[in-house]
Structure 1
Amino acid sequence: MTGKSHDNVILFPKTIDYYQFELTRMLENERYGEAISLLRFLLTCRSQDERVEEEWNALLQWLQTMFPDETFADFGAGSDPEDELSERDMLREKLILREREDGSYAAKLMESLKDASSLEKQLLALDQLALMEHPELNGQLIDWIKSGEQHPLIQYKTLQTLKLRGVQGLIELHRNGESVLVEIEDTPADFDQFPSIINEIIERIQQVSETNHPALAYFAQETWNEFLAFIYGTYQYRQMLRMDRDAIDAWAAALHLVLLERVFDSGDKEEILELYGITSELLFQWEQAYRIMQQFASSTFSGGFQR
């Protein structure tokens, strides 16, 4: 986030609801630097709700007072891989001690993972399970992920967890109504490790949105990450890997329009097609991408942005 004004960005009620959810999630997970950066961005935009602006300003002042070290934090900026490794090592040592004190701690984490009522608790459980040395966890995680169709983000995170634990081999999963086969070791450890043609889609969205829809640029990346988790390993994902470069614009335009429709209650199809240069030759690919994005939005936005 930059400090420049975004007076031309108007925050509509549904957009405000989305940002409120994001702020809550950041605070629950103690991501105070990200919350400060997001609040700074929001307070440079225009909103018709003065009460919300007052709440955001008060929250920003409180965070800056309580967490001065996070005041200049930015998303991913200035992070030191050695520091991250050190934090990971410290967490691993903490978990080893915790398990020595409580022999059932790994079992409790598995129970948290199986509790589908809280996506955040499931993600936090997986973060810890990835670092634990309990000998039976690999088999338990595999049995669980194969037992039914869980939330796509949790399925994907479980694959990442198994990869981090050194598990290899082919696994069959139920995803989005189909059975898919994936190699655990091929699972991208992070979203920037997806094939370049996949990452170019989000780069294209950000390039266009920063100029034409600045408010959309902030959360396009996170939404794209959720979409990759949703689609990974499926027939549609394999089709994306085989697409030609012209199709990048079709996918980018599809996600851009869905975000405008779902979050801003706006969006002009013809305008978006023109922005991305979608010609008649690309229209069929755009319609396919748009249909898949709508399926993703129907299952994910209602359970994520709106909860």
Structure 2
Amino acid sequence: MDTGNHSAVTEFITAGLTDRPELQLPLFFLFLGIYVVTMLGNLGMIILIVLSSHLHTPMYYFLSCLSFIDLCHSTVITPKMLVNFVSERNIISYPECMTQLYFFIIFIISECHMLAVMAYDCYVAICSPLLYNVIMSHHLCSWLVGEVATMAVVGSMVHTGCMLRVYFCKDNIVNNFFCDLLPLLKLSCSSTYINEIALLAFTSFNFFVPTLIILSSYIFILMSILRIQSTAGRSKAFSTCSSHIMAVPLFLGSTAFMYLQPSTNSIDQRKVSSDFYTILIPILNSLICSLRNKDVKVAVKKILDKRVFS
């Protein structure tokens, strides 16, 4: 990726979460704790799925991919933010800013489409249980993950490439705690028409297509569950996708609030939304998937029992 500086600005200053000095240190420890738990939760989930043979299924393969995305997503943003809490000036160079933007977009697009893939997996598991292993073959699972990665990289390259053509001349204060598209576009001294068209097109595609897939999948899932006669059968079917049901509105809701809200909404509201989907969603996903999943609890118990008896 070319991060050559075509602007008069050589560095940016991020505004951060707050301008009150007395809150800097408490916020540092708060987000450090969140980051550590996020890393341990998502990395632990990946290791658990790799080590537990009974978790080697498409559902947990996609869950491990989601955990990897969340781990990387948080790492792109949080460490730099932690440094800013203990620094006098929140400086980030132009190349660093463009690099952060590039990887941030990759992982946020990946998460949108991975949630859609997981919804399709739930649909097949509940609506076609006898054909599940045939439909969700290793080849299809690998192809779906490859498609998610391809769309994420293409979308990120387009957005970052468009940002590299933007000319920044005077103001260099990014009104957020990381380099995001909308705050950077507000600093432009040149036309951002192409950027806005790309933002509208790719945001619409990367938000509405996964949302349509998720809604369609859950309409069929609901219809299938309602046809089940026994309460136990309904409960088992619902538990298959319960963690996914909780994760979807959290991520897509906060993302939609950030990128699809009217431009007249306050900067503080945008910061809160950014904070939610960049820092809190990764930890919430790991907690939801571990605490709401019986198979994960069984796998943890087995590994702990093996270590005790060994």
Q: Which has the higher contact order (CA 8 A, sep 6+)?
A: 2
On whether the aligned pair clears a TM of 0.5, the verdict is no
Query: Please, what TM-score do these two structures have when normalized by structure 2?
Result: 0.30
TM-score (norm. length: structure 1): 0.30
- The structure richer in helix per residue is 2
